[in-house]
Chains A and B, each alone.
Chain A
C-alpha cells in the first residue's frame, strides 16, 4: 500500500518546505517580486516529490488509486503542516513574540506572503483561516497532479526519452543552439529586440552560448564536422567581445581567467591525482608578483626599481617562473605525504600564503592590498579595457588548453595517469615519482600564476581577500563540477562559478545555499561531473565484460543502481 510511504515522504516534504520557508524564500523584499513565485516553487517541489516517489517502488508499480492516495497524502501533510506552522507563527507574532530573534526571516511580511494579509493585519492578529485553508488545498493539488503525471512515466517512456535524446533532430538542435544564443545575444546587445538594460540578460545569453558551444563540441564526433563547426565557433568566439558591453566582457574575462586556473588545478588533481586545497596560493603569487613589481606605489618599485615597474609581458614571464618555483618549493616537502594528509598540508600552505599576504604589511600592503596595478600595453596601445583583457584571457586560455592537451598525450602525461592509478605500481614501472609530482606542481602552479597576472591587471587593485580559502574551494568545486580531467568541463565549471555569481548577485546567499545542495546532489547522482573527459566514457569496457559471464554481474548491478537513482529516493 502507499499509505506508509505517503506519510513518510509527506513528512520529508513538509521538512523541505519548512526549511525553504525559514530560509526566507517567500519574502518579496529579498528577491524582488518573488513572493508569489515562491509559492509556485513550493507547489513545484511538491509535484516533483510526489511524481518521483509515486512512480514505482523497487518491487512493483503502484496502481493509479495507490499513487493518487500517496500523492495526496504527501502534499496534504506538507500543505496542511505548512499552513499550521504559518498560522502558529502568525498567532505568535500577533501576541507580540519576537519570532525573528530565532528565525530571522519570519517577520509579519513572511506570514503575509502565505495569507495575503498586510503587515498591519498580521500584527493585529486578523484571522486568516480561509486563506491558509486555500493555501493548503493549493499545495494538496500539487500531489494529485504529480501522482497523475507519474502514471505516464514508465520504463518504456524512459527508453523513448533516450531515443529522443539520440535522435538526429536533437543532434542538429544541439548544434544549432550556439548559433541561436549568439544571434540572440547580438540582437539584444544591438538593441534590435528593443529591450533596454540588457546587461544581465545579455550576460545570461553569453554564458548560455559558451555552454552550448561546449555541449555541441561534445556531441559532434565526426572529425570533418568537428573541424567545420570548430572553426565556426572559434570565429564566433573571436567576435564575441565586440558584441558585449563592458560589464559582460568583464564577467566573461573572469570566466576565462578562472578557466585557466581550473586547467592548472586539473593537471595537479585530474591528471596527477593529487588533492591540492591551497591551490589559490599560486594564483595569489602570480597576481602579487606582478602587482608588487609593477604598481607605482609598491614597496619594491619605490625602493629597488627607481619607481619604474615592470611591464605586463615581463610580469607574465616573472610570474610563470616564480609560480613554477613556488610549486616546486611547496612540492618538495610534501612528496612523501599522500591523500588526505596531502590535502591538509596544501590547505596549510594556502592559509600561510593568505595570512602572510594579510600580515606582511610593509611588503604586501596588508589588508589594504596592492593598488593601481598598470594595464598591459602593446606598442604604446593601452590594453586595459575589459574587451582587450577578454582577448588576452581567451588567448591565454587557448594556449594553456593546447599545452595541456599536448602534455596529457606526452610521456609525462602518461606518467601522471599511471601515478594517479597507483603510486607504488607506477614507481615499480620505472616512473620517478618525485620528478613526476614536481613537474605537475610546477606546471599547474605556473598556469595559475600566469592567470594571476591577468587577474591583477583586470582588477587594478588586489586584496588578500581575493585569495582566501573560499576561492580555493571554489576553484576545486569548479573543476569537479565540470568534470575532473576534462578541459571543456573546467570551462563549464568556470561559467558556473564565475558567471553565475554575477548573474545572481541579488540572491548571493541563496546561491551559495543552492550550490552547496547542488554539490551534494551532484556527487550522489553524477560524480564524474557535467562534462567528463571523453575517453573516460568510452573506455568503460562493456565489450570486455560481455565476454566474461561473471563480470556481467556488475552490469546488472549498474542497471539496478540506475533505476534506484531515478526511482524512489530512499531505497532502504
Chain B
C-alpha cells in the first residue's frame, strides 16, 4: 500500500475545536453533577440491596421486551434506511391475536390452576405462536401496501406513509376490537414468583419467562443472521443493495424476509407485553414501540447487537433511574429520553453505531 492510499484509507481525525472542547467540558460537568446527586441520594435514602436487585431485574424484563421490538426497527432500518413507525402497531396486533388465542386456551381449560403441566405450558406458548403469525402477516401486508411502492423515494416519504399506517392500524384496532381493555389472564405456570435463595430477592415467573424466551429468540435470530445463507444475503443487502442484487441476491425477497423476522419478534414481544401488563388496548403498542425505537437508536440503529444493548440500557434506566436520582417514578421517561439525547450529543450514531458512515445516517 502506498503512502497516499494509506493516508486516504486511514481514519482522518481533525483536531478538537474550542466548541467541541466546551461541549465535552459541559458533558463532564453534567456527569460529575449526576454522580454527586446519585451519591447523595443513595447515601441518604439507604435502600436495602434487595431493592436494587429487584429493580434491576425489573429493568432486565422490560429491556428484554424492548429488545424484541427494537430488533424489528433495527433490521428494517439496516436494510431500507427507513423508520418503520408502524412497528408498535404490529406489536399491538400480535398482542391482540395472542389474547384471542389465550381466550381459546381458557375455554379448553388450559389456563386454570389445576391444568396439567403440559397443557399449561401450551397455554403459554400457543398465544405466542398465534401472535407471532398475526404480526408476521400484518408486517408483510404493511410492507406490500405502504412501503414497497415508495422504495427509492425521498426519505421523508416512507416515514409519513409509516405514520399514516400507524394511525390506520391503531384506530382500526380501536374500532374493530372496541375501547374496553382486554384483560390477559396469566396461565398457571406464569403466576407467582421465584425466590432466589434466602436473599429476599425474588423474580416473578412471568419476568423470568420473558427474559429466557427473549434470550432464546435472540439466539435464534443471531444464528439466522450469522450462520444461514439467507442471513448472509440479508447482511449483503444491508451493506449494498445494488451489489447484492448483482451477486444474485433477490433483494425483494430479502426485504420481505426482514419484515417477516421483525414481525415474528414483534408478535412475541406483543404477547409478552400482554403477560407482563395483563392488559391489551388499541394504543398498547405505541409507547413501547417508541421506547424500543429509542433503544434501537441508543444502541446505534441498523446494528443488531446495538439494539439489544440499547434496549437493556433503556430498561434499566427506566427501572433504576428515578430511585437513583431521587425523583418520582413519573420521571422515568424523562430520564430515558435525556440519556438518549446525551448519548447522541457525544456519539451522534449511537453506542455501537460506528459502522454507519456519515452519509447513511
Interface residues of A (CB under 8 A from B): 19, 22-24, 100-105, 269, 275, 333-334, 336-341, 343-345, 347-349, 351-352, 355-356, 358-359, 469, 473, 476-477, 480, 484, 509-510, 512-513, 515-520, 522-524, 527
Q: Which of B314-361 contact A (CB under 8 A)?
A: 328, 330-331, 333-334, 337-338, 340-341, 344-345, 348-350, 358, 361
Residue on A nearest B100 in the bound complex, by CB = A102
A403, chain B: closest CB distance, angstroms: 24
B120, chain A: closest CB distance, angstroms: 23
What are 6 A-B contacts with C-beta separation under 8 Å?
A103-B176, A334-B345, A355-B333, A477-B163, A509-B175, A523-B160
In the complex, are the beta carbons of A524 and B149 less than 8 A apart? yes
Q: A101-B103, A341-B297, A516-B171 are in contact. Are A359 and B340 (CB under 8 A)?
A: no
Q: A22-B176, A523-B160 are in contact. Are A513 and B341 (CB under 8 A)?
A: no
In the complex, are the beta carbons of B174 and A517 less than 8 A apart? no
A-B pairs, top 7 by smallest CB distance, nearest first, are A519-B164, A516-B168, A104-B178, A516-B167, A348-B337, A523-B161, A512-B171
In the complex, are the beta carbons of B340 and A344 less than 8 A apart? yes
B265, chain A: closest CB distance, angstroms: 20
In the complex, are the beta carbons of A340 and B160 less than 8 A apart? no
Interface hit among B48-56, B57-65, B150-158: B150-158
A269 to B157, CA, bound (A): 13
Residue B279 is within 8 A (CB to CB) of chain A in the complex: no
Known: A477-B163, A519-B164. 16 other contacts (CB 8 A): A23-B176, A104-B176, A337-B345, A340-B83, A355-B333, A510-B175, A513-B168, A513-B171, A516-B167, A519-B165, A520-B168, A522-B164, A523-B160, A523-B164, A524-B150, A527-B157
Residue B259 is within 8 A (CB to CB) of chain A in the complex: no
In the complex, are the beta carbons of B361 and A341 less than 8 A apart? yes
- Chain B residue numbers with a CB within 8 Å of A100 are 178
Residue B214 is within 8 A (CB to CB) of chain A in the complex: no
A177 to B175, CA, bound (A): 37
A509 to B341, CA, bound (A): 34
In the complex, are the beta carbons of A348 and B340 less than 8 A apart? yes
B282, chain A: closest CB distance, angstroms: 9
A336 to B337, CA, bound (A): 18
Residue B177 is within 8 A (CB to CB) of chain A in the complex: yes
A334 to B158, CA, bound (A): 23
In the complex, are the beta carbons of B149 and A518 less than 8 A apart? no
- How does the 8 Å CB contact mask read for B274-312 relative to A, with 1 for contact and 0 for none? 000000000000000010011001000100000000000
- Chain A residue numbers with a CB within 8 Å of B165 are 516, 519-520
How many chain-B residues does the 8 Å CB contact rule pick out? 55
A341 to B348, CA, bound (A): 7
Q: A341-B349, A356-B334 are in contact. Are A515 and B164 (CB under 8 A)?
A: yes
In the complex, are the beta carbons of A473 and B294 less than 8 A apart? no
A425 to B361, CA, bound (A): 17
Residue on A nearest B359 in the bound complex, by CB = A424
- Chain B residue numbers with a CB within 8 Å of A269 are 156
Residue on B nearest A351 in the bound complex, by CB = B337
State which of A101, A355, A513, A523 has its C-beta within 8 Å of the C-beta of B158.
A523
In the complex, are the beta carbons of A333 and B345 less than 8 A apart? yes
- Chain B residue numbers with a CB within 8 Å of A356 are 334
Residue B191 is within 8 A (CB to CB) of chain A in the complex: no
- Chain B residue numbers with a CB within 8 Å of A518 are 164
B338, chain A: closest CB distance, angstroms: 6
Q: Which of A22, A100, A344 has the most CB of B within 10 A?
A: A344
Residue B172 is within 8 A (CB to CB) of chain A in the complex: yes
Q: A104-B176, A348-B341, A524-B161 are in contact. Are A515 and B167 (CB under 8 A)?
A: yes
Q: Which of B160, B161, B328 has the most CB of A within 10 A?
A: B160
- Chain B residue numbers with a CB within 8 Å of A517 are 164, 168
Q: Which of B161-217 contact A (CB under 8 A)?
A: 161, 163-172, 174-178, 180
State which of B149, B164, B170, B331 has its C-beta within 8 Å of the C-beta of A355.
B331
Residue on A nearest B20 in the bound complex, by CB = A336
A416, chain B: closest CB distance, angstroms: 16
- Chain A residue numbers with a CB within 8 Å of B330 are 355, 358-359
- Chain A residue numbers with a CB within 8 Å of B349 are 341
B211, chain A: closest CB distance, angstroms: 26
B31, chain A: closest CB distance, angstroms: 15
Residue on A nearest B156 in the bound complex, by CB = A275
In the complex, are the beta carbons of A344 and B100 less than 8 A apart? no
Residue B29 is within 8 A (CB to CB) of chain A in the complex: no
- Chain B residue numbers with a CB within 8 Å of A339 are 155, 361
B295, chain A: closest CB distance, angstroms: 11
Q: Which of A348, A359, A484, A510 has the most CB of B within 10 A?
A: A348
A280, chain B: closest CB distance, angstroms: 14
A336 to B81, CA, bound (A): 19
In the complex, are the beta carbons of A345 and B171 less than 8 A apart? no
Q: Which of B119-171 contact A (CB under 8 A)?
A: 145-146, 149-150, 153-161, 163-171
Q: Which of A269, A345, A349, A484 has the most CB of B within 10 A?
A: A345
Residue on A nearest B302 in the bound complex, by CB = A340
A181 to B326, CA, bound (A): 60
State which of A334, A509, A510 has its C-beta within 8 Å of the C-beta of B344.
A334
In the complex, are the beta carbons of B301 and A105 less than 8 A apart? no
State which of B100, B158, B166, B340 has its C-beta within 8 Å of the C-beta of A516.
B166
- Chain B residue numbers with a CB within 8 Å of A520 are 145-146, 161, 164-165, 168
